[in-house]
Amino acid sequence: MKTSILTSALCWLIFQSAHSQTAIPIPDTLSGNSITLTMHQDSVQFFPGQFTQTLAFNQYAYLGPTLILNNSQNVNITVNNQIGDTTNVHWHGLHVSPSNDGGPHIMIMDGMSWNPQFTVLDKASTYWYHPHFHGKTAEHAIKGAAGIIIVRDNNEALLNLPRTYGVDDFPIVVQSAQLDSNNQFMPFGMQDSTVFVNGVRANYGYSAYLNVPAQVVRLRLLNAAGERTFNFGFTGNMPFKIIGSDGGLLNAPVNATRIRVSPGERYEILLDLSSMNGQNINLMSYGSELPMGVQGGPTMPMPPGNPPMDSPLNGVDYNILQLNVGSPTSNPVTSIPSTLVTVTPIPAAQSNITRPIEMMAINMMAMDGPFFFNQQLFDMERIDYYIPIDNTEIWELTNNTMVAHPFHIHDVQFYVLDRDGNLPPVHERGRKDVVLVMPQETVRFITKFETFTDTVVPYPFHCHILMHEDDGMMGQFLVVPSGFTGIDDNFVLTQSITVFPNPTSSFLQFELPENELVSYRITDMSGKVVQKQDNFSGNTIHVSQLSQGIYHVWFRSGSKYYSSKFQKQ
């Protein structure tokens, strides 16, 4: 008797856990000119009875509200940090000034607030927000501190597209993570096997569903995973239309049955469910179709001594979200427009500079990094590029590693010119801020650095595999005013050096590796040269005549450049 009760109880438990279906939440929205985001610690019972520590915004225990912004509005955001650690928040994909962008140089101490303000200059699309504190981005973002930003504009409003949030227009945030034996997030774990969609577990006996109406629906797909690329498609190879990439709508809907979305990327798709009332269909990731080298494709054999990357999700197809189709709404969108907006890529001929960026690893065979750009790990004090305002540039990304890297740049949207010399697929010809560069591939994009200059706070560019980024696969650039003379025009790299004492009231001492004559420039916060000298020897500069403030000092020694920030008391 006892045994049979126990057995049936066990069976019931197993039955329950094997069929645990949860509707995904559609986060509430925040809009208007004044928005408050409070990042805090929380916990979620992703596994019944076990609390997984999380980070989240506002009323949520995981992820955060959706921000809805209109093109050309002003917004004033208060970010409160209550996570017990220093952090910050970045508006991924939005074109905002460096000091409002939330890159690694912005730090919000625990218990403090940050108050960025900006005008929304972006085109209608799906963007997102997440922490960007250097070295801890993976930890903070993977624990759940992320949310969607929807930008609306007049051109998008003219189109007959589904745009009723939560009714026919849905944010779909897909993540995967590795959890330890206590079901706590392992931000650097490369055996990520637990899939989440809008914070709901989607695999291993769990499934996530969404009720959708029998009409044209819009899904805003965001890959917010630390490393995994998803190859989205639907059961039965149901066709869909891709209508938008990271930074805007495409010229016209693109027919597809798959869309590969790497970490940080967004795509908007339309699905015509008009004839499917009462049926269901599953959003899947077809990992078996990804090539080896893309995290999500077949597992690569790891050299001895390297941590395993053998997630059971690698190279296989798995379910993400079941769409249960029900009655249509009263005013359904039933057809898909044949054209969308006018996308005007920048012609390659408008660029007068190509910046080569080589993705590399110390050991070219290493699949777990650390990876870096152009021989150097990220250095918060080193500016990699000085870009004159309004420059149009081609960036040429060459991946000399065994793994694919989703390259992301702040400040701008870019246009992919080519992949190994060939035009990119049609859906990659719109505005983008992340591009996946395959092993041994060269990708060129073109962009224009407009609107914002800052001679002190740089914008970063980095791999959006969060552990690669935290490990130093990142660089940074200043967009400087025209006529900025703090530096010579034709150098590419400044190495940071230490000057002392710092702060100083009367003199600065420095030591350069070369023993050559030195030229120096001191610039103020606006980039204006306030003191200079050419071809002198020695290692002391007198600065007592400078007024109090923060300055940059730039040295040229032979063909090498060095810089440092210092404070004059």
Q: Where on the chain is the footprint of ligand C2O (CB under 6 A)?
A: 90, 92, 130, 132, 264, 408, 410, 460, 462, 464
Q: Which residue is nearest to ligand C2O (CB)?
A: 92
Considering beta carbons, is residue 37 or 487 the nearer one to ligand C2O? 37
Rounded-to-integer distance, Cα 503 and Cα 482, Å? 29
Considering beta carbons, is residue 411 or 428 the nearer one to ligand C2O? 411
Q: Could you tell me which stretch among 31-39, 86-94, 208-216, 292-300 binds Cu ion (CB under 5 A)?
A: 86-94
- Locate 483 and state its tokens: 């006529």
Using the rule CB under 5 A, is 432 a contact of Cu ion?
no
Residue 154 is inside which H or E element, if any?
Answer: helix 154-157
Using the rule CB under 5 A, is 92 a contact of Cu ion?
yes
Q: Which does residue 260 touch among ligand C2O, Cu ion, none (CB within 5 to 8 A, set by kind)? A: none
Using the rule CB under 5 A, is 228 a contact of Cu ion?
no
Considering beta carbons, is residue 132 or 521 the nearer one to ligand C2O? 132
Q: Could you tell me which stretch among 80-88, 158-166, 298-306, 406-414 binds Cu ion (CB under 5 A)?
A: 406-414
Q: Which does residue 405 touch among ligand C2O, Cu ion, none (CB within 5 to 8 A, set by kind)? A: Cu ion
Question: What is the SS3 assignment for 196?
Answer: strand
Question: Smallest distance from the beta carbon of 495 to ligand C2O, in angstroms?
Answer: 23
Q: Which does residue 463 touch among ligand C2O, Cu ion, none (CB within 5 to 8 A, set by kind)? A: Cu ion
- Locate 565 and state its tokens: 């920030």
Which residues are registered as beta bridge partners of 554?
A: 521, 563
Q: Which does residue 431 touch among ligand C2O, Cu ion, none (CB within 5 to 8 A, set by kind)? A: none
Find the Cα–Cα–Cα–Cα dihedral 543, 545, 549, 552, rounded to 10°.
-40
Q: Which does residue 287 touch among Cu ion, ligand C2O, none (CB within 5 to 8 A, set by kind)? A: none
Half-sphere exposure at residue 293, Cβ-oriented, CA atoms within 13 angstroms: 17
Sheet with 385-388, side-by-side order of all strands: 385-388, 474-480, 459-463, 405-409, 434-437
Question: Smallest distance from the beta carbon of 259 to ligand C2O, in angstroms?
Answer: 19
The count of chain residues that interact with Cu ion, using the rule CB under 5 A, is 6
Considering beta carbons, is residue 451 or 519 the nearer one to Cu ion? 451
Considering beta carbons, is residue 90 or 556 the nearer one to ligand C2O? 90
Using the rule CB under 5 A, is 136 a contact of Cu ion?
no
Rounded-to-integer distance, Cα 209 and Cα 3, Å? 36
Considering beta carbons, is residue 408 or 568 the nearer one to ligand C2O? 408
Rounded-to-integer distance, Cα 371 and Cα 364, Å? 9
Considering beta carbons, is residue 108 or 333 the nearer one to ligand C2O? 108
Stated length of the chain: 569
- Locate 221 and state its tokens: 């797909």
Question: Smallest distance from the beta carbon of 127 to ligand C2O, in angstroms?
Answer: 9
Using the rule CB under 5 A, is 463 a contact of Cu ion?
yes
Question: Smallest distance from the beta carbon of 472 to ligand C2O, in angstroms?
Answer: 14
Considering beta carbons, is residue 93 or 144 the nearer one to Cu ion? 93
Is 397 in contact with 435 (CB distance < 8 Å)? yes
Rounded-to-integer distance, Cα 52 and Cα 79, Å? 24
Considering beta carbons, is residue 114 or 551 the nearer one to ligand C2O? 114
Considering beta carbons, is residue 367 or 465 the nearer one to ligand C2O? 465
- Rule CB under 5 A: choose which of 105, 136, 143, 468 binds Cu ion: 468
Considering beta carbons, is residue 143 or 408 the nearer one to ligand C2O? 408
Using the rule CB under 5 A, is 284 a contact of Cu ion?
no
Q: Which residues of 48-79 are buried (b: 16+ CB within 10 A; e: fewer)?
A: eeeebebbbbbebbbbbbbbbbbbeeebebeb
Q: Could you tell me which stretch among 62-70, 107-115, 408-416, 525-533 binds Cu ion (CB under 5 A)?
A: 408-416
Rounded-to-integer distance, Cα 245 and Cα 271, Å? 16
Question: Smallest distance from the beta carbon of 264 to ligand C2O, in angstroms?
Answer: 5
Considering beta carbons, is residue 272 or 469 the nearer one to ligand C2O? 469
Using the rule CB under 5 A, is 465 a contact of Cu ion?
yes
| DSSP per-residue codes, 325-352 | EE---SS---S--S------PPPGGG--
Question: Smallest distance from the beta carbon of 293 to Cu ion, in angstroms?
Answer: 11
Cis peptide before 481 (omega within 30 of 0): no
Q: Which does residue 556 touch among ligand C2O, Cu ion, none (CB within 5 to 8 A, set by kind)? A: none
Q: Which does residue 189 touch among Cu ion, ligand C2O, none (CB within 5 to 8 A, set by kind)? A: none
Q: Which does residue 521 touch among Cu ion, ligand C2O, none (CB within 5 to 8 A, set by kind)? A: none
Q: How far is CA 13 from the centre of its chain?
A: 39
Considering beta carbons, is residue 132 or 260 the nearer one to ligand C2O? 132
CB neighbours of 482 closer than 8 A, spacing ≥ 6?
388, 389, 390
Question: Smallest distance from the beta carbon of 246 to ligand C2O, in angstroms?
Answer: 10
Name the H helices within 23-85: none
Is 461 in contact with 475 (CB distance < 8 Å)? yes
Which residues are registered as beta bridge partners of 548?
A: none
How many Cβ atoms are within 10 Å of 540's Cβ, its own excluded?
Answer: 11
Rounded-to-integer distance, Cα 218 and Cα 7, Å? 45
Counting beta carbons within 10 angstroms of the beta carbon of residue 156, is it exposed (0 to 12), middle (13 to 18) or buried (19 or more)?
A: buried
Q: Which does residue 264 touch among Cu ion, ligand C2O, none (CB within 5 to 8 A, set by kind)? A: ligand C2O
Cα–Cα–Cα angle for 134, 77, 89, nearest 5°?
15
Question: Smallest distance from the beta carbon of 90 to ligand C2O, in angstroms?
Answer: 5
State the residue for tokens 């080896």. Answer: 292
Q: Which does residue 201 touch among ligand C2O, Cu ion, none (CB within 5 to 8 A, set by kind)? A: none
- Locate 42 and state its tokens: 């929380």
- Rule CB under 5 A: choose which of 405, 444, 521, 568 binds Cu ion: 405
**459-463 and 317-326 beta bridge pairing:** unpaired
Question: Smallest distance from the beta carbon of 62 to ligand C2O, in angstroms?
Answer: 18
Q: Which residues bind Cu ion (CB under 5 A)?
A: 92, 405, 410, 463, 465, 468
